[in-house]
Amino acid sequence: MHRYERAFAELAASAAGLAAEEVAPLVKTAEPGRGDFALPCFPFASRLRRSPVAIASDVAASIPADPRFASIEAAGPYVNAAVDPARLVEELVPEIRRLGERFARSDAGAGRRVVVEFSSPNIAKPLGFHHLRSTMIGSALCRIHRALGYEVAALDFIGDWGKTFGLLAEAFGRFGDRARLEAEGIRYLLEIYVEANRALEEDPSFDEAARAMFRRQEEGDPEAIFGAPKSAHLKRFIRSVS
């Protein structure tokens, strides 16, 4: 779309009697329903000694028809342009076929590093559909940045390491069923978590006990991390974030 943005800037600059280099940096993405590009005319008001609305109206009316654009029209103090979709496809598809995997790649990010953290499920709860959305968006961002030459560090933080784990350990020690945990895994932990929060409402001292348990886990107390309960499931969960 950059070539269309540049073409719009050149057309608008010519119509306003200005240099394209002056107009191009002002072109931005139009608001939804207003086309693809927008040129605000406020910066030209003092020089042209006219209102931005009048400038936008004259510029839009002075731009000749161009097959690359479905419309170029004024909207208040803005000149908006909509790219012709058929023309875009005609130009884009052959270029995609010609360049293949090199299409839309550049070295704009060469020598720069970016960290993309995504997915990041809470491993104390079952995965939800929203984690798929986050994973797809994060993966797309990684691929886009790599295509632009960035060094990408993709981080999938499986954590939410906090009092939740102290709460689970304390709750399991009080009313957990080790056999069910081994058989049902994380789904049973969610049930324990619900029961633990119910216990918090009934017994305020339970909250301090959970905090104390988590404090021991943070300090690396083996018994707090691996001893309560002694389950391979919870051991793996806690080890992954400790």
113-162 pLDDT, tens digit per residue, is 999 988 877 766 777 787 788 889 999 999 999 999 999 999 887 766 77
pTM of the model: 0.53
What is the residue whose two structure tokens read 């029209």? 73
What are the structural domains of the chain? 2-85 (3.30.1360.70), 106-157 (no CATH), 163-241 (no CATH)
pLDDT in tens, 88-107: 999 889 988 998 888 888 89
- Taking phi over 0 as left and psi of -120 to 50 as alpha, with beta for the rest, 119 belongs to left
DSSP string, the chain: -HHHHHHHHHHHHHHHT--HHHHGGG-EEPPTTS-SEEEE-GGGHHHHTS-HHHHHHHHHHHSPP-TTEEEEEEETTEEEEEE-HHHHHHHHHHHHHHHGGGTT---TTTT-EEEEE----BTTS---HHHHHHHHHHHHHHHHHHHTT-EEEEE---B--SHHHHHHHHHHHHH--HHHHHHHTHHHHHHHHHHHHHHHHH-THHHHHHHHHHHHHHTT-HIIIIISS--HHHHHHHHHH-
Return the pLDDT at 233: 46
Return the pLDDT at 193: 87
Read off the tokens for 112.
């720069």
The CA distance from 105 to 103, in Å, is 5
Residues facing 155 on adjacent strands: 117
Section 204-222 average pLDDT? 89
Return the pLDDT at 129: 80
pLDDT in tens, 161-209: 778 888 888 888 888 888 898 898 888 888 888 888 888 888 889 999 9
pLDDT at 234 over 50: no
Burial environment of residue 44 by CB neighbours within 10 A (0 to 12, 13 to 18, 19 or more): buried
Phi/psi for 35 (5° steps) reads 110, -155
